Amino acid sequence: MAGFIKKIIGSFFPQERALFFMAIACFGISAVALAALKLERATTAIPTHGGEYVEGVVGQPAYANPVLALTEIDRSLVRLIFSNVPALAEKLEAGDRQRSWNIRLRENLTWHDGAKLTSDDVIFTIQKIQDPESRSPLALSWQGITVRRVSELEFIIQLPSPYIFFTENLNNLFVLPKHLFADIPTSNWRLSAYNLKPIGSGPYQFDSYHQQPDGFIDRYALRAIRTPSSLPPGRADTPHVAAFTMEFFRNMDEAFKAFNAGKIDGLGGVDMTLLNAIQRPYTLHAFTTPSYYAVFLNGTHNNALKEPVVRSVLSRAVDREMLVSRALEGYGLPQAGPLLESSPQATSTEVSTSTPRASSSSLSNEAQLIQELEAAGWKMTTSSEARVRFEGNASTTLKATLLVPQVPFLITTAEMLRDSWQRLGVAVTLRPTTPEEILASAIRNRDYEMLLFGNVLNPAEDLFPFWHSSQRFYPGLNIGLYNNKKADALTEEIRGESNEENRENKLAALATLITADVPAIFLYSPEYLFVTAKNVGGVQPRRIANPPERFLNAAAWYVKTARVLK
């Protein structure tokens, strides 16, 4: 048969022979393509275990320790390596009108080193958070709370007063291994090698890290646990990504270059104004967060800012939709008060180039606002660039200094605010300052006239830390220095109100009260932007309390897939 075919081919002219082989090749290619198409239709791609994911991070790890973790980097590592109480618990039961919690852990929980995980570890963690020598950033949220052991797996947490939002405390309680830390003096914990080589109980375990000669840690590697004891029933026993690595950079420019070169697979906290710097196809994940930015007003440092009409006019002059469109490139929501506005679903979008979202804008009635200032005695003079109000021989000029963190989108925001207020005759001087200096000095000492800063509401309905008068002084978070007895009472009542309808009504009344008093000029709630290579799957954009929470479902991320029959 082969000889017969060879004889036939040999009888062809050269041109006919070339056409024959071309036809055979086309037939072969078509057959393969058809088979591949049928296979694709008959099967579906599912995540499979394997591969490595590399996250780019600007900064350095220091304390991958649930009690000590303060920075975003450290808290991210804690969420990958350790488990929180809800992940470990078989039962979470509130009692005594939200004053107590009875919690039972699941059977057969273990640490990465094989030691048994028990209620003693949870109790130890809480006590060390409360220990002043640990200087834990969680200490305030556990003040006055006691914990009692019932059995090896069960314990009871007792609150000093009803607190309807206590589940957030539990969500943020990542458990530390007592058997490794009990014999170390708390004052020496920050010297412990376990801070960079932790033993946890979560889906990933510490593998190694690499340090440059100058001490800079440039690589931190984790590996998946085959059967994490902390994973509750119904979740996969093994994270899909076998190796989870963090590459550390000294600045965002280096991180962007690494992402564009394909050396890293993901980059979090991307400034929306820098998306155009990405030069490779990527997936953009926009997470909503319970946070907003506002301009906080300090009337004790500026008499003009004490005036209700001035505060009201400054707030109503702000075009919030325009701020979202220009300063946030559309990745956020306008914010008109202290409660978070309703938000659209968080999204993941595959893009080859950044495509900022559009937003409509609405101009404020400047003429009406100017008229209100004029009626309140604030007049323009030929010798001043700002309005002045005369009271006898004394005068007050409508000017202020706006302290703003040196962050690109916040600088843009501040410039837009300055320009809009200047059209009303209000002179605003911008004072860009590092976020570190603002936290360490301006906020600690309440040393500012106007401060552009952000609040993170966790939980979103608990406004006590930001607006109760007892929190006006450091380390309280009431940087608007708000003092209203009716508001104080509402913030306290809301914390103990178990009836949802009553709580919502009180929240609405509180928000109306704060908005009317204008202790701050609310601006917008930005989204948290996270970019990944297009082969990274399983990331689920949603509302997160803080950026490290995006890692809470990291076990579902994947970089490898396999095809199975439908």
Q: How many CB atoms lie within 10 A of CB 120?
A: 15
**pLDDT tens-digit series, residues 297-346:** 999 999 999 999 999 999 999 999 999 999 999 999 999 999 987 544 55
Would you call 244 helix, strand, or coil by DSSP? strand
Q: What letter represents residue 70's amino acid?
A: L
Confidence of residue 524 (pLDDT cuts 50, 70, 90): very high
pLDDT value, residue 169: 94
Which of 6-10, 41-45, 63-67 reaches the highest mean pLDDT? Answer: 63-67
pLDDT value, residue 525: 94
pLDDT value, residue 274: 84
pLDDT at 208 over 80: yes
Q: Which residues of 533-555 are buried (b: 16+ CB within 10 A; e: fewer)?
A: beebbbbebeebbbbbbbbbbbb
Q: Could you give the residue ranges of the DSSP H alpha helices within 358-407? A: 366-375
Q: What letter represents residue 36's amino acid?
A: A
Pick from 168, 164, 154, 138: which is nearest to 69 by CA? 138
And the tokens for 252?
Answer: 């965002």
Comparing 39 with 34, the larger pLDDT belongs to 34
pLDDT at 223 over 60: yes
And the tokens for 43?
Answer: 């099967």
Would you call 295 helix, strand, or coil by DSSP? strand
Q: Which domains does the chain have, with CATH numbers?
A: 53-258 (3.40.190.10), 291-346+357-526 (3.10.105.10)
pLDDT at 353 over 80: no
Q: Are 287 and 532 in contact (CB under 8 A)?
A: no
What is the distance between the alpha carbons of residues 445 and 438, in angstroms, rounded to a whole number? 10
Average pLDDT estimate for 468-489? 95
What is the distance between the alpha carbons of residues 206 and 227, in angstroms, rounded to a whole number? 15
Per-chain mean pLDDT for the chain: 88
**pLDDT tens-digit series, residues 528-542:** 999 999 999 999 888
CB within 8 Å of 173: residues ≥ 6 apart: 66, 84, 85, 122, 125, 126, 138
Residue whose entry in the numeric block shows the structure tokens 């800063």 = 453
Share above pLDDT 70 across residues of the chain, in percent, rounded to a whole number: 85
Average pLDDT estimate for 508-536? 95
pLDDT at 233 over 50: no
pLDDT value, residue 362: 39
Specify burial of residue 329 (Cβ count, 10 A radius: 0-12, 13-18, 19+).
Answer: buried
